Amino acid sequence: MSRFVLEIGTEEIPARFFPRLHEELGELVHTALAEAKVDHGEVKTFATPRRIVLCIEDVCAQQRREEELVTGPPKRIAYGEDGEPTKAGLGFAKTQGVSIEDCYILETEKGEYLAVRKMTGGNRTADLLPAICEKAVASLQFPKKMRWGAREFGFGRPIHWFVALLDDQVIPFTIADVTSGRSTRGHRVMGHGPFEIADASQYFDVIRDKCQVVLDADERKALIRAEGDRLATSVGGSVVWNDDLLDEVCGLVEHPVVILGDFDASFLDVPREVLLSSMEGHQKSFGVEASDGSLLPHFIPVLNIEPKDPALVKKGWERVLRARLEDARFFWKADLETEADTWLGKLDNVIFLGPLGSMGDKTRRLERLCGWLAKQTDPSMEKDIARAGRLSKADLVSDMVGEFDELQGIMGGIYAAKHGESEAVAKALYEQYLPAGPDSPVPSSLSGALLSMADKADTLAGCFGLNKVPTGANDTYALRRAALGICRIALEHNLRIDLDAFLRQAQEGYGDINWKLSHDEAFDKMKAFFANRLKAYFQGKGYETLVVESALGAGFSDLWAAAARVDALSTFSKADDFEQAVLTFKRAANIIVKQGSKGDIALTGDYTEDLLIEDAEKALAARLKEIAPKWEELWGKDDFASLMGLLRDLRPDVDAFFDNVMVMCKEDDLRTNRLNLLTALVSRLGLLADFSALQV
């Protein structure tokens, strides 16, 4: 068994390209080898800023040899009436690399065909690998590709070398005028090279010892964490680790070297968030905090070289950070001297979105919408929530956010507290942009939750009114994230807000706008949009697709209740009698849908007991009447699990009804009465789920 190593050497690839890049290379080569019937062992992949590496253990020297049955033309075409092979038969044999005598007649269900059994495979793996490597390298995906020189080939960054070794044998191929070989290059300063690799088994030793490169990203992270923790402990603190930043830094270095930098303690008067933003966003460094969570006047940069003069390098990092902190302190002091009303006035000159007016207009809409939301949840907070809506975008025109735009909202909350606003207002402003993604936390406070929901609903209502509906992967205004954010906030805060009324209220907040869609048309599109987001959300939680569709089919204006019904129906679906119950209730629902669509029968659910003549229909009516009080009681308690239990108790009477009663009888009065009896049943079913959407 052999080891195969492929290294793609490049100019520095941006860290944002790294997630999955080396894994993609491994998947491409693994798939190609499987298709080529080449057996192999473990596939390992690595990436640094200057190289993408693939290593495969226990590679077989040859393809598997397998017998393959190949069918050709029908017998009547392969042989003439005289029994001699025709051009079609001879051509098939030639194509398969055999003589016509090696072929035989295969009898199948469709008739007789000319066929041949032949052995395939057995080619040398070394002969197959060049084409596999070329295709894999060319297939790698990047957010943006470069083309250099006059070449048509594109890659994340220009390619400078390939290493391709199967044990001691070079696998030859050429891409973009770069030919593969056994020569690699190391760290630009500490182990430049080039270095010859005699055998694939020596690759990792050469990379580590001569090239001075830490190939494994997990190893680089571990080294950074260990040394960072040690340095922070030496000054009585701990590192403020940011996992996203750690991933980015790991993608910037091949030989991580961690140092401890210092800054003047007077900068600690600036908010923690601003200091960390300066360190992390601009210097790719980590902060250091004390045991009480307060920052210490130190920071942790990560170098890509062992410096000859560590003190000089440290001083350089400190000088650059100091300039950023000086700017931040200047903006902080200037903003504290500015009244909120000054910022609110400036918002009228900041465009929100085309025809939708200014940011000032948006905050006035949010003021009203937040007040409406507060009335639905906690009227005592109406004044604070409305105030938060009005102040929500004020920090966009502050000096600090103008320079550090990633702090929008956060600075609004900090400034609000400094300017004497209530804690609820400050917290709402601080959390208004949460959740930032499907896995990020929702606002922790009710005030933050309501402001975030209002902001997102206002944007949705405006964009849908302008028919700016996301299509495919295009979602310029992050409307999918906005809709999912509203759903997550409502569910995680157990808010019983009427989604339909909420979206209508958001639409009404706009004044005289030249809409592309009417309010009703835009509303219908928004509801369908929310349905898709909810479906994806519950599927992500592990619920079956049909269960989700059925539960949401009963309505989802009350998001909390919809989630509870999804859970109850999911539990019911695991019961032994679920399939039979679905068939029963689905039959009832389908009859009502079919007859109701005709429009010639008034299906109100009101039936006349005197027209119930069959024992089975009398029993069903009695059963419905019997469970009605219990149903109302359980419905009032949102006890959907018990309501599903009532359906189980009701099913025998429904089965008996269908077994013994002719619903579509000739007598008009009896037929209408029986349909209304079923309507009374289906109207209750429809409150829990759309059983017609289930398939069993």
Q: Does 369 have pLDDT greater than 90? A: yes
Q: Does 578 have pLDDT greater than 90? A: no
Q: What percent of the chain has pLDDT over 70?
A: 99
Dihedral sign computed on CA atoms, order 319, 320, 325, 327: positive
Greater model confidence, 66 or 548: 548
Q: Does 296 have pLDDT greater than 90? A: yes
- Comparing 77-81, 254-258, 288-292, 389-393, which segment has the lowest mean pLDDT? 77-81
Q: Compute the average pLDDT of residues 588-609.
A: 75
Tell me 179's DSSP state: E
User: How far is residue 103's CA from residue 236's CA, in Å, rounded to a whole number?
Assistant: 83
For residue 696, what pLDDT band results from cuts at 50, 70 and 90? Answer: low
CA 76 to the chain's CA centroid: 56
DSSP per-residue letters across 28-62: HHHHHHHHTT-----EEEEEETTEEEEEEEEE-SB
Q: Compute the average pLDDT of residues 507-528.
A: 94
For residue 352, what pLDDT band results from cuts at 50, 70 and 90? Answer: very high
| pLDDT (0 to 100) of residue 19 | 76
Burial degree of 87 (CB within 10 A; 0-12, 13-18, 19+): exposed
Q: Compute the average pLDDT of residues 19-31.
A: 92
Burial 357-396 (b: 16+ CB within 10 A, else e): bbbbbbbbbbbbbbbbbbeebeeebbebbbbbbbbbbbbb
Report domain extents, the chain: 2-62+124-210, 67-120, 217-336, 341-542, 567-693
How many beta carbons lie within 10 A of that of residue 61, not counting itself? 12
For residue 596, what pLDDT band results from cuts at 50, 70 and 90? Answer: low
Q: Does 309 have pLDDT greater than 70? A: yes
Q: Compute the average pLDDT of residues 44-58.
A: 96
For residue 634, what pLDDT band results from cuts at 50, 70 and 90? Answer: very high
Q: Compute the average pLDDT of residues 596-609.
A: 74
Q: Does 121 have pLDDT greater than 90? A: no
Greater model confidence, 608 or 440: 440
- Comparing 115-124, 297-306, 432-441, 521-530, which segment has the lowest mean pLDDT? 115-124
- Find out if CATH 2.40.50 is the number for domain 567-693: no
For residue 598, what pLDDT band results from cuts at 50, 70 and 90? Answer: low
Greater model confidence, 480 or 666: 480
Q: Compute the average pLDDT of residues 626-649.
A: 89
| pLDDT (0 to 100) of residue 135 | 95
For residue 246, what pLDDT band results from cuts at 50, 70 and 90? Answer: very high
Q: Does 681 have pLDDT greater than 90? A: no
| pLDDT (0 to 100) of residue 122 | 76
Q: Does 20 have pLDDT greater than 90? A: no
User: How far is residue 138's CA from residue 148's CA, in Å, rounded to a whole number?
Assistant: 15
Residues comprising the chain, all counted:
696
Tens digits of residue pLDDT in 181-230 = 999 999 999 999 899 999 999 999 999 999 999 999 999 999 999 999 99
Q: Does 577 have pLDDT greater than 90? A: no
For residue 594, what pLDDT band results from cuts at 50, 70 and 90? Answer: confident
* Of residues 191, 127, 186, 136, the one with CA closest to residue 160: 186
Q: Are strands 295-300 and 286-289 parallel, antiparallel or unpaired?
A: antiparallel
Greater model confidence, 473 or 601: 473
The mean of the pLDDT values for the chain is 92
Q: Are 176 and 156 in contact (CB under 8 A)?
A: no
| pLDDT (0 to 100) of residue 600 | 64
Six-digit token pair at 170?
């070079």
| pLDDT (0 to 100) of residue 597 | 59
Q: Does 163 have pLDDT greater than 70? A: yes
| pLDDT (0 to 100) of residue 674 | 87
Six-digit token pair at 525?
């599109």
User: How far is residue 592's CA from residue 585's CA, in Å, rounded to a whole number?
Assistant: 11
- Comparing 436-445, 587-596, 605-614, which segment has the lowest mean pLDDT? 587-596
